[in-house]
Amino acid sequence: MSEQIKAGREWLLPDEAATAAWATRWADALDDGLVIYLHGPLGAGKTSFARALLTTLGVGERVKSPTYSLMESYVARGRPAWHLDLYRIADSGELEWLGLDALADPAALILVEWPERGAGALPHADVEVRLDYAGAGRKASLHAFTARGEQLRRRLEGAN
Ligand SMILES: Nc1ncnc2c1ncn2[C@@H]1O[C@H](COP(=O)(O)OP(=O)(O)O)[C@@H](O)[C@H]1O
Ligand SMILES: [Mg+2]
């Protein structure tokens, strides 16, 4: 299985197994709820990352891309977990019927693809991950906005 490679402030993810390995590091570093915004173009690996993280956290069922459902809910390590993909949303007003109030639970793990399309309707990000193409593989960088996001970032940095 490939590993992620730390390069300066970025992680190089040469293949999908490396993305999964990086998500496993996140699972090791998580001990609280967390709101993760996932940025990057189509095909950058946002869903791959979310799927690997949720699966590592013990979600037994298949983690589908929420492209059509917009939102999927899981239980991960005994906590509520939500995976959203807002690509198809043109205006955050369209999200009113989705019941985003449930996302206010501070114990929840929340992963959001295309969060900019839900601006104002989503909980604030603890961390933002940016995935991008890098040759045949991908690269990732992250930004922490809160104390628990910063703690996670330090743990990830320290783990490599
Ligand atoms: N690190 C990687 N290197 C190369 N290919 C990857 C990597 N991570 C994921 N992939 C592949 O790229 C595609 C990513 O798709 P997906 O995760 O649905 O992207 P997104 O949700 O960002 O649109 C999948 O075909 C996956 O197998
Ligand atoms: Mg996706």
With a 6 Å cutoff on the Cβ, whether 19 touches ligand 1 is yes
Side-chain-side CA neighbours of residue 127 (13 Å)? 26
Q: Which atom of ligand 1 is nearest to the CA of 15?
A: 3
With a 6 Å cutoff on the Cβ, whether 93 touches ligand 1 is no
Tell me, what's the pLDDT at 76? 96
Model pLDDT for residues 60-98, shown as the tens digit of each residue? 999 999 998 999 999 999 999 999 999 999 887 888 888
The region that residue 78 occupies, defined by phi over 0 for left and psi between -120 and 50 for alpha, beta otherwise, is left
Q: What is the mean pLDDT of the chain?
A: 94
With a 6 Å cutoff on the Cβ, whether 15 touches ligand 1 is yes
Parts of the chain with a pLDDT under 70: 1, 159-160
Tell me, what's the pLDDT at 159? 57
Distance between CA atoms of residues 150 and 142, nearest Å: 10
Gyration radius (Cα) of the chain, Å: 15
Q: Which residues make Cβ contacts (< 8 Å) with residue 40, sequence separation at least 6?
A: 46, 129, 130, 131, 132
